[in-house]
Every structure is written in structure tokens, then in C-alpha cells.
Structure 1
């Protein structure tokens, strides 16, 4: 794959808002899970979506394969808007767009044999008979490192890593072009994670797949992805080639994520500054830059003007930050003192006082 590979999936102003009805102790509200995302996924690449829990990356991934309908904006697959597909066309499109779910146990029917789980898409989409279906299932199980005999067992008879392999085999059944992995290794042990990551990389090369991986583990992301999209509160705040992002993150949130994962930046001696404050509610996002309530470099303009994702420098990367150039040049020290919301300042002061009191009590 080259940087000039054509897009296979694109989004334009993509939004997904969930209406939350009023409850006994809360008013009705609108949760902005995905809020205006422009994205182009290149054919044959591995794109990673990273960010804290609740930032909207799983919702975005499900919209890309048509499991969720957008509240606004468009998803375009091979030049055609998914909204223009008829119901029969969408059913046929399922062959090309597949997803691997996070929990390999809850995503498999416990009452079905593995051969039936993997073979069901072949019956629904290909209309294969029992004999042909059995032969294809055996091939798929072998492809993901399982034995054909495993098809006569139930999901509870397998380990977590084996169950995830079954989920991958099911996703591969009809020859997809794009696979979204919704945190496909987060529920697995570290040693098993490496096996599944290596399997996905191997399958991508052998089958010519495009992978979109939702993940928390930045070590995993650096190992397998070509590009990274960093999400915060329903928006993409930085998009860059993987090595460029890990070597020189430009957005303060990207820097904070790397600082929180020291193994992902082994050997990096740059000073680390962890995030302060809490993630704002997606039902009432901050004005301006949504990260300004936690940003160590926030200025008055950050609360007033919402920065748009735009090209940054000469490299093929995009950043949504008013001061990315100063951050890149190490000139943030010359900026005025950060502007913090009064509520956050009070919380930090109270936290400091309580910590000092606790230390005095121990002494």
C-alpha cells in the first residue's frame, strides 16, 4: 500500500446522536457519540481508531460497516453512499463489510456448533448446501489456526483466544473487503493478544483486506497499523501515519495518550505530563475545542473557537488544534498561562489539600 491508495470508505460530516429520555433524576438529553467526522480509509491499509472509553470510536466503526444508521452526514463505500443502497443491496453488501466483536464469547451463540456459527453466513449469502458448506467451514477454521474437528464443538469448550479465532473465521466466510475489529484483543491475555494480532496481519496480506481496528492498547496499534486516528469526545483530533504520530504527536491529547502508555514509547526521554480533570459529558460537550477543559496549553481562543481538522506541516497529517505549530516547535512555554475553568481549578485545589492532609495524618 502507498499513501496514494484510493479510499475504499469515506465519511463526510458523519454524526451519530442518541436521544436519552428523561428519567426520575435527569432531564432528556442528546448524547453526541460521533459529531461531524470526515475520514477516508485507504484500500489495503490498517487504520487504527484510538481514544479513551466513550470517545465514540466503536460507534464510528459500526457505522462504517452499516450496523448503525447515521444521524447526519454520509458513509461512502467505493464511491456510493450507503444511504442510497436498497435493502437487497445492503444485504448483499454484508459480504464485503464485516466486523469482529470485542467479546469473543458473547458474540457467539452458545447453543450452536462452531460449524453452524461459521457456516451461517455461507448459507444466508451464498446459498451453499450442507456438503459445500462443511468443506468451506473446514477451510476457514484451518485458515485461522484451528482444526476442522473443532467445528463439532460448542463455544464454551474453547479458550478466549480460540473463540476469537472462531469470530474471525465467521467474519471471513463470505470473502469481505473491509473488516472492522472492535477491540478484537482487549478481552484476551497478553500472550494471546500477540497471536491474534499476528493472525490478523497475516490474513490481511494473504487476502488483501482493509482493516479498521478500534483499540486502547497503543503498543498493539503501533505494531499493526499504517495510520492512526485519535478521537476525543466524538471528534478526530489528530490523524497521522503511525510512526509520525508516535515519534512527534502534535495534539496535546495525543501526547497525553502516549504518556499514559510508557511501553508504547520505550526509550522516549521527553517529559511526561498526565491529563488532569475528567472527560466532559458527551451530552453537554464544552464550547470551542472540546479538549480545552483538560489541556495544559489552553488559551481563551480555545474556549471560543472550535478548531477544525486541517493539514499540519508538510507531512500527510491533520490536527485539530490552534497551537499545534507552537507545540511542534517546543514554544508552548512562551504562551500565556493556561486558562482553566473555575470549577476545574477548585477541584484541583481540593484534591491537593486532601492529599496534603492525608500525608500529614500519616506522619
Structure 2
């Protein structure tokens, strides 16, 4: 069995806007030639600014959107063009956790029905009594009580609703779970609990996670590998520790530089970007980042960089990353000891995710009530 569970090769998604009377049709290149590989059992993160295409990419991988071009393989099977029963069977093995835990849950359905619906769909061999037992078990493992099955989504806090969404995603016993910013709508303390829950369930249930996020603290302490997206393309990818300690692409450097840090007696050089993010309907020629890159050279406007190897595990799409790295040897994050007390407390919340402790249902429920 291959170590790769999910693979995208040259994936594209173009949207056509306009085209009405006296209007010009515009092509928005939301995802434009993305190639990634997700290994079995890992947590793979996709990070970037709002509008970079990461949520569109997640929906393409899940087949919630039809790709314009490119290939998607799940467990060495091409899934880019499957339909009907094959697509329903795919839903059993690949599940999605949405960003907003309230709008993703039907307010007219009780929690028991919400969690029980995918069990009935994908596991028809279970009797009604067995389905009720399975609903209770799923609620328990995400830190809720079995009696919560009789309540409705509006009766829960944001963190509890996200736990319901996770329980619903786990109902079909999936091998891969994709989370589209699953903690961004939650308070920081609740974020830590949900991050810890996802990390624990990944190990306990032998799952693979793909996490979409813009909070780099979540990414740093939750993922094994990371892909950085800019304007529909992956500009850098590799092991999380390596990317955060030694970023090579100027855009990755700018993202890490934007993380608030304070260290007494020592100034920190920040990499500020100029201008606005270009429209995906009219991306710049050559390197798409050259209009904002402080290291751009004349030929960056005409030459398209390929996502090539930087080390055995890392890849970067930049013509001059080696020259940039030579001039900026300390572009990564400050070591933990150099952070301010407030920053250390924030990072410590996510550090708990690496300990993979089993959540206590009563404690979790009381903490979020």
C-alpha cells in the first residue's frame, strides 16, 4: 500500500464571471495548477491569505466542486470524474468539517439526527438501536454527553457545535478528514480544545487530516507538513518545522513576519509587503508574487518559477530563493524563549495538541457551556 493517500496533480478551477449584455466575461483562476501529496496518517496543512484559493482547493479535493483540469487521486484511484454511486461511496471515506459550525448544521434537526444521518446512509447494516448506540459513542469521543442527542444546534456554544460537526464527519468511519478552517470562528481557548480533539482523534482512529487555516499558530503546532498558497498556486511546501524555522519563499517569510512577537532588548526585522493582492481574474505575468516582492528582479515579471526542490522534503517556487536566503539567514520565527509572556501563553494553548490526551466529556462540556 502506498504512503500517499491523496494526490492532486496540476489541479485547476476557473470560474467564469459576467458575460451578460455588453459585459465582458472574466475568468477567475481560483486554483491554477496545484500539485500536492498527502501522506497516510499525517496532518497536512494548507495556509495562505484570504482569497488565495485554499478553501476552493479543499472543496476540489473533496469533490464538492468540479475541477476545470487536473487529476485527483484518493488511495491511487482517480476520483476527478467519478459520479453517482461511486461518488457517494467516496463520501464514506472522505469527510469534511466546515468553517462555520452553526450554518453547516440543519437547525431543524436534533443532534441525534444530524449525527445519525450519515450512519444511516453509509452504514445501512446497522439497526436503529445500533445507530442510537453509535451516535452516543460518537458524541462521547468528541467530548459531549449522550443526552445531548435530543437537543438542537442553537442550544450549544460555538465550540460544542464544532464538536457536533466533527462527530458527524466521523460517523462514516472515514480514512481522510478535510477541515476548512475548523477553529477560526471560535475563541482562542476553545480553539485549543478543538485542535487537541482533532489531534487526538487522528491518532486514536488512524485518520489522515487536511487542515485549511490562516492562523499560523494552529498550523505550527498541529501539522506535520504544510503547503503555502498565493493567488491560486503553491509557492512553498515541506515539513512544518523546516518551513517555520527556515522559510525560503519571500511570501512565506512575510507571513511568518506578520506574527506578533515581542522580545525585550532585541529588535526584530519585519518583511513588509507593498501593494494589494492582485485579482485572480487578472494575475500578474511571470511570478505572481513579483508585484509585492521586495526582492523581485526584472526577469521575475516574465519568467514563471516552477515549484522545484529546495531540500529532500521541501519545494519552493522562486528564481532567487538561494540568494535571498544568503542575505536573510534568520528569517524564521523567534525561538520560544525569546517570545513575550503573552505570546508564549497563546502558543502554549496549541502545544497541548501534541500531547493527544483523550477529552473528558463532562469537563469539556462544562468548560464550553
TM-score (norm 1): 0.86
Residues 272 and 5 (structure 1), Cα distance of their counterparts in 2 relative to 1, 3 Å cut: farther
- Residue in 2 that maps onto 1:187: 185
Q: Given that residues 218 and 264 in structure 1 are in contact (C-alpha distance below 8 angstroms), is that contact kept between their aligned partners in structure 2?
A: no
- Residue in 2 that maps onto 1:67: 64
The answer to whether structure 1 residue 126 and structure 2 residue 129 are counterparts is no
Residues 26 and 261 (structure 1), Cα distance of their counterparts in 2 relative to 1, 3 Å cut: farther
Shift of the alpha carbon at 1:67?
Answer: 1.1
Moved more, 19-28 or 39-48: 19-28
Q: Given that residues 67 and 80 in structure 2 are in contact (C-alpha distance below 8 angstroms), is that contact kept between their aligned partners in structure 1?
A: no
Count, aligned residues: 328
- Residue in 1 that maps onto 2:363: none
Q: Give secondary structure in 1 for the equivalent of 2:276.
A: coil
The answer to whether structure 1 residue 18 and structure 2 residue 15 are counterparts is yes
- For 1:6 and 1:324, locate their aligned partners in 2 and report how far apart those are by CA, in whole Å: 29
Q: Which of 3, 8, 30 does residue 5 from structure 2 map onto?
A: 8
- For 2:221 and 2:116, locate their aligned partners in 1 and report how far apart those are by CA, in whole Å: 31
Which blocks of at least 5 consecutive residues in structure 1 are unaligned?
333-363
- For 1:173 and 1:264, locate their aligned partners in 2 and report how far apart those are by CA, in whole Å: 43
Shift of the alpha carbon at 1:26?
Answer: 5.8
Larger Rg: 1
Q: Which of 73, 98, 103 does residue 95 from structure 2 map onto?
A: 98
Which blocks of at least 5 consecutive residues in structure 2 are unaligned?
330-369
Residues 141 and 71 (structure 1), Cα distance of their counterparts in 2 relative to 1, 3 Å cut: same
- Residue in 2 that maps onto 1:361: none
- For 1:226 and 1:282, locate their aligned partners in 2 and report how far apart those are by CA, in whole Å: 29
Shift of the alpha carbon at 1:331?
Answer: 7.0
Q: Given that residues 219 and 264 in structure 1 are in contact (C-alpha distance below 8 angstroms), is that contact kept between their aligned partners in structure 2?
A: no
Q: Deviations over 1:165-199 (max 9, x none)?
A: 00000000010011111000000001000000000
- Residue in 1 that maps onto 2:281: 283
Moved more, 19-28 or 275-284: 19-28
- Residue in 2 that maps onto 1:221: 219
* Correspondence 1:143-158 to 2 at 5 A: 143-158=141-156
Q: Given that residues 246 and 265 in structure 1 are in contact (C-alpha distance below 8 angstroms), is that contact kept between their aligned partners in structure 2?
A: no
Residues 265 and 11 (structure 1), Cα distance of their counterparts in 2 relative to 1, 3 Å cut: farther
The answer to whether structure 1 residue 205 and structure 2 residue 197 are counterparts is no
Q: Given that residues 258 and 265 in structure 1 are in contact (C-alpha distance below 8 angstroms), is that contact kept between their aligned partners in structure 2?
A: no
- For 1:321 and 1:50, locate their aligned partners in 2 and report how far apart those are by CA, in whole Å: 18
Q: Which of 44, 52, 57 does residue 55 from structure 1 map onto?
A: 52
Q: Which structure is higher in RCO with an 8 Å CA cutoff and minimum separation 6?
A: 2
- Residue in 2 that maps onto 1:304: 302
TM-score (norm 2): 0.85
C-alpha RMSD over aligned residues: 2.1
- For 1:24 and 1:142, locate their aligned partners in 2 and report how far apart those are by CA, in whole Å: 56
Q: Given that residues 107 and 152 in structure 2 are in contact (C-alpha distance below 8 angstroms), is that contact kept between their aligned partners in structure 1?
A: yes
- For 1:229 and 1:83, locate their aligned partners in 2 and report how far apart those are by CA, in whole Å: 21
